[in-house]
Amino acid sequence: MRIVECVPNFSEGRRKEVIDKIVEPFRNGKGFSLLDHRADENHNRLVVSLAGDPEAIMDALMTSAGVAFSLIDMNAHTGAHPRVGALDVVPFTPLRGVTMEECVDIAREFGKRLNEKYEVPVYFYEEAATRPERKNLENVRKGQYEGLKKAINEPERLPDVGQARLHPTAGATVVGARKFLVAFNVNLGTTRIEVAKEIAKSIRFSGGGLAHVKAIGLALEDKGMVQVSVNIVDHEKDPLYRVLELVRMEASRWGVPVVETEIYGMVPASAIYQSAARYLQVADFEPEQIIELRLLEMAGDRS
């Protein structure tokens, strides 16, 4: 059983009928499952979560991309989220029976297929990057659709696949391979936004904190709280419990309590049992002890 997660991001978060048509090829798919999809009007963006066999996912993605390319015109697109194309980003993540190296191969193959069929230039990022500076998605998307249209001829902005011009309406697509990203928010019992910002800064990598953590501080006005909003880019190396306890410790400087937390969206079982085993002080916990993980193996062996 080879299972990857794939989270394509499309530049459409407002037109319901367009969103439905883009999502349609992912419904009732064979060999993979539509785990989640959510559109944000403010971002004007659709985020889809798929899991299953990489080949099956690629096939459905090709169909869905065709729909998106025919219905989205990047020249008319506005939204709060940075983007360079109608199918903006496609990250592949190893889940079971697939290595990161294989996900890099999958990303490269998908990029080639996408360009061959639709003539959309493709960039590779994170583990699939061909140049060090392209590991970081923000570097690839610099200037966004409008900026890249002009800059694409510059040697350092040339696409990895395809010619040096954006697709006239679909822009470009950034395809990559990366570890599973866990979104974990910690809500604090204060309305002082500077407390959340200070804590976010102290726990994130760029501020001297944990190596695989990105974080920002936000106000939650309707709740009368503030939030440290965290992305854990490698939850095996920086587990949830460590993030929480570090936030709690930093918050104690201001006498501010952790009121509650939120795991946003999908999470791998390992992120959960890792923290459970730590807090429960379990000496040698093995994932093979979890019945459902064994049943999943069974199901895989049979298919």
> What gap in Å lies between CA 243 and CA 247, rounded to an integer?
6
Task: Name the residue among 72, 152, 145, 54 with its Cα closest to residue 108.
Answer: 54
State the catalytic residues. 81
Name residue 238's amino acid. D
| CB closer to a copy of itself, 29 vs 66 | 29
Q: Closest distance between a copy of itself and the C-beta of residue 203, in Å?
A: 15
Nearer to a copy of itself, 151 or 269 (CB): 269
Please say which residue, 35 or 233, places its beta carbon nearer to a copy of itself: 35
Helix (H) or strand (E) holding 277: helix 269-279
Rounded to a whole number of angstroms, the minimum distance from the CB of residue 227 to a copy of itself is 12
CB of 291 to a copy of itself, least distance (A): 5
Q: How far is the CB of 165 from a copy of itself (least distance, A)?
A: 38
Residues that bind a copy of itself (CB under 8 A): 3, 5, 33, 35, 51-52, 95-96, 187, 240-241, 244, 258-263, 265-269, 272-273, 275-276, 279-285, 289-296, 298-300, 302-303
- Joined tokens for residue 282: 């379990």
**Tokens of residue 99, six digits:** 């290595």
Please report the sign of the dihedral spanned by the C-alpha atoms of residue 88, residue 174, residue 49, residue 66: positive
Q: Which is nearer to a copy of itself, 222 or 284 (CB)?
A: 284
């392209």: which residue's tokens? 134
Question: Whole-angstrom distance between the N-terminal and C-terminal Cα of the chain?
Answer: 8
